[in-house]
């Protein structure tokens, strides 16, 4: 479904990714592991078209590396949960959930509120009134209204209480299983990544150094690979 061929990426004149080759089959949950600065978020941003990159990116058989970000998302069936959530703080919970959504998709609001009952209770409040965990629920809830073939998630557990993280990850697992959605996940908490992922690739200083799948998805092994052990 997703194929990267010799993908490199830069911020300004600084190269961050180096000749990444990566193929992700449809329906796979792939976690991208690595220490801070390894290039994990940059890899996601390269797939989305948010950074300067070189190489080929193919999505569902179409080359998209020259396609603008908004068209990759709109035409490619890609949903994104950004690090930092990316909410519009001046708007309510409901407005953040439904902004830009096709009218027919609004029938899925009940699914969002079933998954996150607190959002139903606070639907008319501005998102600034919500806790960090509740804001992350809004960010994930938006993707539930836009069924995607690829779900890109960057650091969903960052700064959140364990109970909230468990609720978010249970929802992600249900979403991916129900629709056979392909998932690209960056998660600093590697135990969480290992619990949900079918496969884990490890970046180190912008290079893809390890690729584990199935029974090889083991927390201790992946930590060693990420830190150079």
DSSP string, 102-166: -GGGGGGHHHHHHH-HHHHHTTTSBGGGS-HHHHHHHHHHHHHTS--SEEEEE-TTTT--HHHHH
pLDDT over 80 at 180, yes or no: no
Beta bridge mates, 33: 202
Q: What DSSP state is assigned to residue 91?
A: S
Specify the pLDDT at position 21. 98
Residue ranges of domains in the chain, CATH in brackets? 1-76+182-229 (3.40.50.300)
In angstroms, the CA 110 to CA 112 distance is 5
- The pTM score is 0.88
The pLDDT > 90 percentage for the chain reads 50
Quick one: pLDDT at residue 229? 65
How confident is the model over 150-159, as a mean pLDDT?
88
pLDDT at 85: 73
Q: pLDDT by residue (tens digit) across 12-63?
A: 999 999 999 999 999 999 999 999 899 999 999 999 999 999 999 999 999 9
Residues in the chain: 229
């Amino acid at each position: 479904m997703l194929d990267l061929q010799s993908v490199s990426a830069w911020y300004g004149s600084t190269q961050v990714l180096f000749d990444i080759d990566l193929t992700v089959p449809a329906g796979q949950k792939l976690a991208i592991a690595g220490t801070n600065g390894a290039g994990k978020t940059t890899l996601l941003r390269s797939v989305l078209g948010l950074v300067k990159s070189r190489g080929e990116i193919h999505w569902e058989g179409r080359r998209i590396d020259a396609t603008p970000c908004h068209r990759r998302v709109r035409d490619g069936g890609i949903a994104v949960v950004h690090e930092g959530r990316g909410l519009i703080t001046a708007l309510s919970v409901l407005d953040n959930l439904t902004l830009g959504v096709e009218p027919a998709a609004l029938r899925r609001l009940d699914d969002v509120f079933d998954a996150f009952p607190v959002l139903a209770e606070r639907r008319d409040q501005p998102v600034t009134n919500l806790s960090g965990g509740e804001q992350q629920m809004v960010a994930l809830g938006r993707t539930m209204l836009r069924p995607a073939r690829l779900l890109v998630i960057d650091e969903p557990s960052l700064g959140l209480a364990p109970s909230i993280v468990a609720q978010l990850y249970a929802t992600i697992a249900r979403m991916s299983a129900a629709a056979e959605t392909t998932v690209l996940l960056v998660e600093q908490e590697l135990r969480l990544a290992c619990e949900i992922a079918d496969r884990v690739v490890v970046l180190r200083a912008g290079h893809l150094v390890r690729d584990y799948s199935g029974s090889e998805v083991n927390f201790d092994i992946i930590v060693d690979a990420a830190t150079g052990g």
